[in-house]
C-alpha cells in the first residue's frame, strides 16, 4: 500500500545523460531554469522545448516518466493558468459576468504554464538520470568553493545522502508498524477526521522511536569507523571530468547564448 510512493525516482538505464558528471547536470539544470526566465517570446520557448526534447531523447528515459512529474503540479498549473487568463488587465477579447479574457491574459497564462511545465520536466531529467548519491556527491564537489566562507559543505551533503538513504527504510518500517497495529484492531481507514488523527499516534510514536534508534546506531557505527567529517576524506569513486563533460558544458553554454540572443535581439 504505502510502497507505491516513489521519492528517489532514479530511472536506471544506459545513456549519455546518465553518464554525465552530476556537476554538469546540476549546472545544466540551473542554466535551463535561468533561461526559462530570460526568454520572452515564442521562438525562445520553441528553442527551450527543442532543447528539452533533445535531452529527454538522449536520456532514453520514457516520456511517461517525465509526464508523471507533472501530475503533482496539475492543480498549480490550473490555478496559475486560470488566474492569469481571467484577471490580467488589457485588451478584452471575450467576457462573461466578472470573467474577462484579454489578449495579454492569454499570453501570460500560456507563458506561465509553459514555464512551469518546462521547469518541472527539466529538473525531472536530472533526478531521473542521476542517483541520489551521485547528486549529493556532485553538490558537495560543485559547491566546494563555499568552504572558503566556512559553509560546512561536506556535512550538508552527508546529511542529505543519509536522509535520502533512510527514506525507503522508514517507508518499510511504516508499513510494518501499520500492519502490526491493524492486527491489533487499529483503523487507519476511518473517514472521521478526528479519529483519523488519533489513529496516527500508534503509528507515529513507534516510527519516531525507531528513527531515533536507527540514527543512534548509525552515529555509533560511523564513529566506530573513525568518521570525523570532510577534512582529508577521500572517495572510492571520485568525480573526475571527462571529455563528454566538457562537451556537455559547451552545449549548455551554446544554449544559454542562443537564449540570450533571442531574448535581446529578436523582438516580436
Q: How far is the CB of 261 from other proteins (least distance, A)?
A: 45
Q: How far is the CB of 191 from other proteins (least distance, A)?
A: 16
Residue closer to other proteins by CB (options 123, 210) is 210
DSSP code, position 148: G
Using the structure block, give the residue that is written with the C-alpha cell 535581446: 264
Distance CA 72, CA 144 (A): 33
Site for other proteins in 6-65 (CB under 8 A): none
Distance CA 238, CA 150 (A): 23
Distance CA 163, CA 202 (A): 23
* Residue span 208-247 as binding mask against other proteins, x where in contact by CB under 8 A, dash where not: -xx-------------------------------------
Distance CA 137, CA 131 (A): 10
CB-based contacts of 226: which residues, under 8 Å, 6+ apart?
none
Q: How far is the CB of 3 from other proteins (least distance, A)?
A: 8
Residue closer to other proteins by CB (options 3, 264) is 3
Q: How far is the CB of 171 from other proteins (least distance, A)?
A: 14
* Residue span 181-210 as binding mask against other proteins, x where in contact by CB under 8 A, dash where not: xxxxxxx-------------xx--xx--xx
| Best CA proximity match to 170, nearest among 133, 204, 211, 199 | 211
End-to-end Cα, the chain, rounded Å: 52
Residue closer to other proteins by CB (options 19, 179) is 179
Residue closer to other proteins by CB (options 179, 264) is 179
Residue closer to other proteins by CB (options 208, 227) is 208
Q: How far is the CB of 218 from other proteins (least distance, A)?
A: 17
Distance CA 118, CA 116 (A): 6
| Best CA proximity match to 133, nearest among 57, 239, 231 | 239
The grid coordinates listed for 45 are 520557448
Residue closer to other proteins by CB (options 41, 210) is 210
- Indicate the SS3 state at residue 88: coil
Residue 93 near other proteins by CB under 8 A: no
Q: How far is the CB of 187 from other proteins (least distance, A)?
A: 7
Instruction: Name the site residues for other proteins (rule: CB under 8 A).
Output: 176-177, 179-187, 201-202, 205-206, 209-210
Amino acid at each position: 500500500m504505502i510502497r507505491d510512493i516513489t521519492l528517489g525516482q532514479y530511472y536506471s538505464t544506459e545513456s549519455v545523460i546518465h553518464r554525465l558528471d552530476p556537476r554538469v547536470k546540476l549546472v545544466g539544470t540551473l542554466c535551463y531554469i535561468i533561461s526559462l526566465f530570460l526568454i520572452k517570446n515564442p521562438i525562445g520557448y520553441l528553442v527551450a522545448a527543442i532543447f528539452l526534447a533533445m535531452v529527454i531523447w538522449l536520456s532514453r528515459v520514457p516520456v511517461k516518466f517525465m509526464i508523471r512529474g507533472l501530475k503533482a503540479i496539475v492543480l498549480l498549473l490550473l490555478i496559475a493558468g486560470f488566474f492569469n487568463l481571467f484577471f490580467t488587465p488589457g485588451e478584452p477579447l471575450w467576457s462573461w459576468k466578472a470573467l474577462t479574457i484579454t489578449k495579454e491574459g492569454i499570453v501570460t497564462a500560456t507563458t506561465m504554464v509553459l514555464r512551469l511545465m518546462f521547469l518541472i520536466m527539466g529538473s525531472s531529467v536530472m533526478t531521473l538520470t542521476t542517483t541520489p548519491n551521485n547528486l549529493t556527491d556532485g553538490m558537495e564537489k560543485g559547491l566546494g568553493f563555499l568552504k572558503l566562507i566556512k559553509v560546512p559543505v561536506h556535512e550538508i551533503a552527508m546529511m542529505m545522502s543519509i536522509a535520502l538513504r533512510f527514506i525507503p527504510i522508514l517507508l518499510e518500517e511504516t508499513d510494518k508498524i501499520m500492519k502490526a497495529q491493524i492486527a491489533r484492531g487499529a483503523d487507519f481507514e476511518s473517514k472521521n477526521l478526528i479519529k483519523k488523527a488519533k489513529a496516527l499516534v500508534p503509528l507515529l510514536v513507534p516510527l519516531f522511536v525507531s528513527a531515533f534508534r536507527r540514527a543512534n546506531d548509525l552515529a555509533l557505527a560511523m564513529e566506530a569507523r573513525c568518521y570525523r567529517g570532510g577534512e582529508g576524506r577521500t572517495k572510492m569513486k571520485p568525480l573526475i571530468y571527462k571529455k563528454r563533460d566538457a562537451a556537455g558544458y559547451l552545449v549548455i553554454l551554446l544554449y544559454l547564448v542562443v537564449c540570450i540572443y533571442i531574448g535581446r535581439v529578436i523582438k516580436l
